[in-house]
């Protein structure tokens, strides 16, 4: 088998802080977890930031700046991948009275505002959540209109940053192809198959392979699944010809009742890949493969 790269999604923005004391919250903690993941074998770190007081997800540029500067100043070489998913959070008032929107859980921002930290910090990669969907429970909707996606894709490409297209279901992959066909996303195209996120693509193998088989041959793709199936998907993605994502954004455990660090999860992924005879790509190799620009 050929070599793959590992992405570590170090913290996310979900309500996981109260479930594990290993989830990093402050910029210093998040940066330290990025560095630990890189030393364990991750070539890419996917970064959200959190409010240091509440632990909730944040779009604060100062928090992103501190994390990025700490990682760039560290003695590791790792590709930075910043989220742009924040700012698309819509929570209806209730099933019977959807309007006015709930103040708690609603955070809607325009395309330029959602990309403020990308324009300021110029990571090699940033995500683009390619669709709208029910995400979890209650009245929350992950909201990404076609107009917003087009404008975000245009700006990301203009900034010289590689978009990692986040695909949560088959329709999202269809829309991703349209953005590429319109020339809004530059080649080489990079896509992340996100499996097992309620209520997107379920994590069964048939659905996974349907997604894989619809990824164009000249695109680079990775895949992950939530929770206990995270390590299963390390093997599945590698065998199917893709790359790997692990990390505390998607899974808190190394084994039953055993809370993990990001370094633990990357180390376990490396062990699985080694047993499969799959090589691990370095950050430099990923930059070369994906024509990434490293900014300082």
**Rounded distance, CA 122 to CA 50, Å?**
20
Task: Give the residue carrying structure tokens 């954004």.
Answer: 249
**Rounded distance, CA 263 to CA 41, Å?**
9
Element (H, E) at 245: strand 243-246
The answer for 288, left when phi > 0, alpha when psi is -120 to 50, beta otherwise, is alpha
Three-class DSSP category at 279: coil
Could you give all domains of the chain from N- to C-terminal order, each with its CATH number? 6-290 (3.20.20.70)
**Rounded distance, CA 156 to CA 160, Å?**
7
Element (H, E) at 114: helix 111-114
pLDDT at residue 296 in the model:
72
**Rounded distance, CA 214 to CA 141, Å?**
25
Q: What are phi and psi of 289, to 5 degrees?
A: -65, -40
pLDDT at residue 1 in the model:
58
Tokens of residue 221, six digits = 């793709």
Number of helical H runs and strand E runs in the chain? 10, 16
Is the distance from CB of 246 to CB of 230 less than 8 angstroms?
yes
Low-confidence ranges of the chain (pLDDT < 70): 1
Question: pTM to 2 decimals?
Answer: 0.96
pLDDT at residue 137 in the model:
85
Q: Residue 84 carries which DSSP code? A: -
Q: C-alpha angle with apex 25: 91 to 122, nearest 5 degrees?
A: 80
Is the distance from CB of 276 to CB of 239 less than 8 angstroms?
yes
- Cα 1 off chain centre by: 25
Q: Could you tell me whether strands 79-82 and 44-47 are parallel, antiparallel, or unpaired per DSSP bridges?
A: parallel
Query: How long a stretch of residues is the chain?
Result: 296
**Rounded distance, CA 187 to CA 184, Å?**
10
**Rounded distance, CA 270 to CA 80, Å?**
20
Tokens of residue 191, six digits = 């896509």
Q: What are the residues facing 80 on neighbouring strands?
A: 45
Is the distance from CB of 243 to CB of 6 less than 8 angstroms?
yes
């Amino acid at each position: 088998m050929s070599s793959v790269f590992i992405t570590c999604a170090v913290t996310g923005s979900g309500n996981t802080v109260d479930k594990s004391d290993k989830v990093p919250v402050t910029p210093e903690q998040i940066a330290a977890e990025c560095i630990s993941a890189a030393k364990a074998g991750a070539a890419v770190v996917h970064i959200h930031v959190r409010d240091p007081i509440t632990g909730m997800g944040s779009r604060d540029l100062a928090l992103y700046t501190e994390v990025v500067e700490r990682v760039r100043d560290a003695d590791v070489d790792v590709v930075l991948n910043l989220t742009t998913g924040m700012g698309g959070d819509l929570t209806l008032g209730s099933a019977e009275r959807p309007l006015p929107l709930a103040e708690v859980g609603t955070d809607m921002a325009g395309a330029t505002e959602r990309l403020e930290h990308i324009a300021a910090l110029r990571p090699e990669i940033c995500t683009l959540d390619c669709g709208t969907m029910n995400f979890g429970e209650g009245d929350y909707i992950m909201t990404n209109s076609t107009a917003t996606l087009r404008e975000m894709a245009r700006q990301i490409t203009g900034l010289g940053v590689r978009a990692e297209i986040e695909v949560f279901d088959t329709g999202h992959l269809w829309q991703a192809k349209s953005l590429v066909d319109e020339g809004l996303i530059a080649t080489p195209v990079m896509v992340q198959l996100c499996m097992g996120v309620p209520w997107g693509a379920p994590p069964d193998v048939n659905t996974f392979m349907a997604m894989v088989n619809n990824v164009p041959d000249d695109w680079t793709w990775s895949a992950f699944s939530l929770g206990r199936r995270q390590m299963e998907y390390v093997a599945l993605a590698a065998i199917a010809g893709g790359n790997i994502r692990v990390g505390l954004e998607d899974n808190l455990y190394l084994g039953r009742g055993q809370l993990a660090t990001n370094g633990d999860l990357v180390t376990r992924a490396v062990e699985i890949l080694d047993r499969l005879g799959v090589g691990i790509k370095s950050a430099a190799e990923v930059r070369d493969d994906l024509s990434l620009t490293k900014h300082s």
